[in-house]
Structure 1
């Protein structure tokens, strides 16, 4: 009997060469690009994303400082890949992705990867993940296996429900309004293709409404959302609700999500809405948000209070049990923080961003822990993203259920939507549907 496919892969999927270089993200800032080449000729290439509204508890991103690119250069992180990680992982098998991630993390030596930079570690992790898929000549999503990296078996692969940006404020749009993102969730869609078509229609109606009210729909924010100085945060909700109605959708078929990114609004013990001149206690702020859930089809709220306000997060989840209460800065894709959130009922859903964790394995363990605890999970892009499409495959292969990428324009956003359309058309996977949201039961 001749050698099996497994025998072949064991001798040929070993890493031969790893090369990193400085590239640009969607905001024009430098980031780390990396290519991992295998002995069998397969390779994986990736360009690492970066956030704008970053939490204090994220893995540490290495930046050079100085005058190049306003201090945003990443030559030190590139050197870390080329000089330290490349020789470390040479000869290791790409299919042993968790072992490679562990070796990289041990070599850095700091829990938040601050010695050499999480962007350096993630470049290696992502490029290796893509190379593994290429070596097996299979869709990337189908090679991911158990997100926790164990032997429990893969979760059911599905096309995720999208959460799509329509209006932006906060750090993504020059603080045109205080709240960072106003999004829609196409709960009535029966397929991903239909979901994208429906949301595009809503965005077009909102753009016309914005123009009619003296705005300029040609202006877009970091993630492709519309940007305008509206009178208040609620004015954006009103406009979005009207756009949904004019597009012909009932509230239960096209609902609203918001990303408050409240850590940027915290001043001492208060929440400050500078755009409308309000200073509110956390309890007063929650009264406002509860009122919004009663007046608008608001099904998901992200980071409603500051990143370290566990009491406020628990209170918000208790007061709005029918709403998906989503933690981003609160959890920072960190396993210990998710464990605390589960024990304190500080949310019912976790946003997963691989660059917050610093490796695909770490992010996968966070997603698995959240799902095992009964939390909903949302795989998310960053505001400074790239043309890569691996995020779509992660959301599918991990069975995340939901994905948050940005709006329906800007090519770094549409690349990920287009990849999901491809997976749906070619691989025939089922659409997750509305049941994947947290807090809606």
Structure 2
């Protein structure tokens, strides 16, 4: 945080999240539902899984503290399950702290997470989310789900229509409530076709780039229904507040997100509470740069006491 901002907050004698709430016109701070990374793939891990993240959302918790307990317990049950099935080497973690078992199919990864939720005793209290990050394996107008497999014989290419069919089946078979970047950053057509099915929250990451002009187009064309807010994409806090207002006016979901190569700076935790975004993404309950954000949210909830509101089932 810059020195002038520290001095300004000291003059105002308010916490950072409260100052952000004042700037954005929000009256009631809300503790967000964490989208906790449990399995990593894509360019964030050394396995053969094409998608970048499988996440759990503890929407059935009564507080942020309980949400983190549910998330951490499920995460560690998953570690035990992976070790049982593929040995301790499968418990290596990716860049965001999610485990990187050597699975190649979406369903195998989701089945592991489903088993961990069951073993932890949290069935019905956790929903699932996927970050496909499809831009990284889009070749031409097709998607190569085997782009990481060594010595592959015959690439597993899917058209946009086939990807929609796959997502539709996944949403039917698993409690998936959110899919991030399901298509290439410039594949507006298939993103809209999938979003029109209203099967889950469809999150624009590379598609939107936290850019007000791209967000405006997506709102006008009904391309997706949620914004992934990466503050270093848009550049300033003022601009971040404006794009969140854009998303709110369109009745979109908003997820404040970490980035790859994170530090222990916890500013985005205060940002999520101050803007009342209700969704927050900071990786796994593992590694200091991820835990710093979650710990700050725990401190904020403790400070708010009886005034603390956890988004929970109202995560959108």
Whether TM-score is above 0.5 comes out as yes
Displacement of 1:176 in angstroms is 3.3
TM-superposed CA distance for 1:279, in Å, is 0.2
Q: Structure 2: which 5+ runs fail to align?
A: 150-154
Deviation by residue 1:294-314 (Cα, 9 ceiling, x = unmatched): 111111100000111111110
1:254 is aligned to 126
CA contact (8 A) 2:132 2:180 kept: yes
> Does structure 2 conserve the Cα–Cα contact (< 8 Å) formed by 1:350 and 1:378?
yes
Q: Is the aligned partner of 1:331 residue 2:212? A: no
2:183 matched residue in structure 1:
305
Write the distance in 1 (CA, Å) between the matches of 2:22 and 2:303: 23
1:155 offset after TM fit, Å?
A: 4.9
**Does 2:17 match 1:141?**
yes
Which position in structure 1 is the counterpart of 2:166? 288
Between 1 and 2, higher relative CO (CA 8 Å, sep ≥ 6) is seen in 2
Q: When the two structures are superposed, what TM-score results if normalisation uses the length of structure 2? A: 0.93
CA shift at 1:249, angstroms? 1.8
Query: What is the CA deviation profile of residues 378-412 of structure 1, one whole-angstrom value per residue up to 9, with x for unaligned ones?
Result: 10011211111111100001111110000001011
Q: Of residues 307, 310, 316 in structure 2, which corresponds to 1:431?
A: 310
User: Secondary structure, in 3 states, of the residue corresponding to 2:196?
Assistant: helix
Moved over 6 A (4+): none
Against the structure 1 CA distance between its residues 314 and 188, is the aligned structure 2 distance closer, same or farther, given a 3 Å change threshold?
Answer: same
- 1:234 to 2:107 alignment: yes
Instruction: Decide whether aligned partners of structure 1 residues 283 and 431 sit closer, same or farther in structure 2, where only a CA change above 3 A counts.
Output: same
Report the aligned-residue RMSD. Answer: 1.6
- Total equivalences in the alignment: 307
Distance in 2 separating the partners of 1:381 and 1:307: 19
Q: CA deviation at 1:217?
A: 5.0
Report deviation, 1:165.
0.3
Higher CA-based Rg: 1
Of the structure 1 ranges 310-319 and 224-233, higher mean CA displacement relative to structure 2 is found in: 224-233
Instruction: Give 1:131 shift.
Output: 4.7
CA contact (8 A) 1:155 1:398 kept: no
What are the residue-to-residue correspondences of 1:20-419 with 2, within 5 Å?
36=2, 43=3, 94=4, 128=5, 130-145=6-21, 153-174=25-46, 176-215=48-87, 216-250=89-123, 252-274=124-146, 275=148, 277-319=155-197, 321-419=198-296
Aligned partners of 2:132, 2:218: CA distance in 1, in Å? 18
Contact 2:42/2:50, CA 8 A, preserved across alignment: yes
In 1, the alpha carbon distance for the partners of 2:240 and 2:230 equals 7
Q: How much has 1:136 moved relative to structure 2?
A: 2.4
Q: TM-score, normalised by structure 1?
A: 0.67
Show CA shifts across 1:184-238 (max 9, x none): 0011101000000001111111111111111425411111111121142221111
C-alpha distance in 2 between matches for 1:384 and 1:134: 30
Deviations 1:69-100 (A, max 9, x none): xxxxxxxxxxxxxxxxxxxxxxxxx5xxxxxx
Distance 2:92 2:280 in 1: 24
CA distance in structure 2 between the partners assigned to 1:139 and 1:217 by the alignment: 41
Distance 1:352 1:291 in 2: 28
Q: More helix by proportion, 1 or 2?
A: 2
